[in-house]
Amino acid sequence: MGMLILLTFLTYPSGLTQITEPISTRLIKNLSLVFIPACVGVFFLGPAISLQIPLLILVVVLSTLLAIIFMAMLIKVIVVATND
């Protein structure tokens, strides 16, 4: 919600972009640091969940591949249709 509110304000010409840009650039550049505490948690998961990790990896690979193929083919169809 906060992201949408800021986006709405930024679409109107004001000095807000000049104020927010240096801060947001620095924050986005070091985004990985913010994710570290939660990411460390993966090494402390219980054995029941750890056993599921190979299956989760398979789910991620298959669904990511599927989404990329779907989007690439959809864009090809739309681009060809709009050119015709």
Interaction between residue 56 and other proteins (CB under 8 A): yes
Write the single-letter amino acid at 66: L
28/84 with CB nearer other proteins: 28
User: What are the start-end ranges of the H helices in 1-84?
Assistant: 2-10, 16-29, 31-40, 47-50, 53-83
Is the CB of residue 20 less than 8 Å from the CB of residue 6? yes
Among 15, 33, 47, 84, binds other proteins (CB under 8 A): 33
Binding site for other proteins (CB under 8 A): 2-4, 6-7, 10-11, 17, 20-21, 23-25, 27-28, 30-45, 49, 52, 55-76, 78-79, 82
